[in-house]
Structure 1
Amino acid sequence: MYRIFVSQPIPEPALEYMREHAEVEVFRWQHREMTVPEVEDAVKRADYLYCMHTIPVTRSVVEANPNLLGYGVAGTRGDIHDLEAVEEAGIPWLVAEHPTPPENPEDWDDNGWGLNPRATADLLVTHVLSAAYRFVESDRYCRERRFFQEMTMDLMGLGCTGKTVALYGFGKVARQAAKRFKALDMRVLYTKRTRLSPEEEVAYGVEWVADPDDLFREADFVCLLTNAEPQNLKMVTARHFSLMKPTAYFFNVARGRLVDQDALIAALQAGTIAGAGLDVFTSEPPKVIEPYVPEEFVSMPNVSLTPHNGGATYRSRGAQCMAIAEAIVSDIKRREAESAQVATA
Structure 2
Amino acid sequence: MAPNTKRVFYVNNVSAPVYLEILAKRPDIQVDRLENDSPEAAVEPVLAQAHAYQIGSSRQELAMPFQGYAPLLARCPNLLVLSTNGAGFDTVSLADATAAGVAVVNQAGGNKEGVAEHVMALMLTLSKRIPMADKAMRRSSDYKRPDFMGDDVQGRTIGIVGIGHVGGRVAELCCGLFGMRVLAFDPYLTAEQIAAKGAEKVATLDDLLRQADYVSINCPHTAETRGMIGAPQFAAMRSHAYFINTARGGIHDEAALAQALTAKQLAGAGLDVWEDEPPPSDHPLLRFDNVVASPHNAGITRQSRHNIARIAAEQMLDILDGRKPPRLLNPEVWPVYRDRFSRILGVTPEA
| Shorter-chain TM-score range | 0.5 to 0.7
Within a 5 Å distance, the mapping from 1:44-83 to structure 2 comes to 50-54=54-58, 55=62, 56-57=67-68, 73-74=83-84, 80-81=92-93
- The share of aligned pairs that are identical, in percent, is 26
**Aligned twin of 1:219:** 212
Structure 2 Cα separation of the partners of residues 67 and 190 of structure 1: 43
- What number of residue pairs does the alignment pair up? 299
Among candidates 265, 289, 293, match of residue 279 of structure 2: 293
Matched, 1:124 2:119: yes
Unaligned regions of 5+ residues in structure 1, if any?
A: 28-33, 99-112, 284-290, 334-345
Unaligned stretches of 5+ residues in structure 2: 2-6, 322-351
User: 1:277 is paired with a residue of what secondary structure?
Assistant: strand
CA contact (8 A) 1:43 1:61 kept: no
Q: Which string of whole-angstrom CA distances, capped at 9 and with x for unpartnered residues, describes residues 110-161 of structure 1?
A: xxx754333322221221111111233344444x33x647972332222312
1:257 is paired with a residue whose SS is coil
Matched, 1:189 2:193: no
List aligned pairs for 1:1-345, cutoff 5 A.
5-8=10-13, 10-17=15-22, 43=43, 50-54=54-58, 55=62, 56-57=67-68, 73-74=83-84, 80-81=92-93, 114-142=109-137, 144-145=138-139, 148=141, 152-182=145-175, 183-193=177-187, 195-197=190-192, 201=195, 204-283=197-276, 291-293=277-279, 295-325=283-313
* SS of residue matched to 1:159: coil
Per-residue CA deviations over 1:64-97 (Å, capped at 9, x if unaligned) read: x769988762389696359869988xxx969669
**SS across alignment from 1:239:** helix
Range with greater deviation from structure 2 (305-314 or 215-224): 305-314
Distance in 2 (alpha carbons) for counterparts of 1:135 and 1:40: 50
User: Structure 1 counterpart of 2:153, which letter?
Assistant: C
Aligned counterparts of 2:16 and 2:239: Cα–Cα separation in 1: 42
Cα 1:241–1:14 change in 2 (3 A) is same
* 2-structure distance, mates of 1:3, 1:166: 41
Q: Which moved more, 1:17-26 or 1:256-265?
A: 17-26
State the secondary structure of the residue aligned to 2:182. strand
Give the distance between the partners of 2:171 and 2:239, measured in 1 at CA.
24
Cα 1:96–1:136 change in 2 (3 A) is same
Counterparts of 1:195 and 1:79, CA distance in 2: 30
How far apart in 2 are the matches of 1:141 and 1:226?
35
Normalized against structure 2, the TM-score is what? 0.65
Q: Once superposed, what is the RMSD of the aligned Cα atoms?
A: 4.4
Q: For the residues of structure 1 that align with 2:320 and 2:165, how far apart are their CA atoms?
A: 34
Q: Residue type of the partner of 2:186?
A: K
- Which amino acid is 2:43 matched to? V
- What residue identity is the alignment partner of 2:83? V
Distance between the aligned counterparts of 1:306 and 1:136, measured in 2? 13
Instruction: Tell me the SS of whatever aligns to 1:125.
Output: helix
Kindly indicate whether the alpha-carbon contact (under 8 Å) linking 2:243 and 2:268 is maintained by their aligned counterparts in 1.
Answer: yes
Distance in 1 (CA, whole Å) between partners of 2:274 and 2:15 is 22
Distance verdict in 2 for CA 1:42–1:211, change over 3 Å: same
Q: C-alpha distance in 2, partners of 1:208/1:94?
A: 32
Q: Give the direction of change, closer, same or farther, for the CA distance of 1:275–1:209 in structure 2 (3 Å limit).
A: same
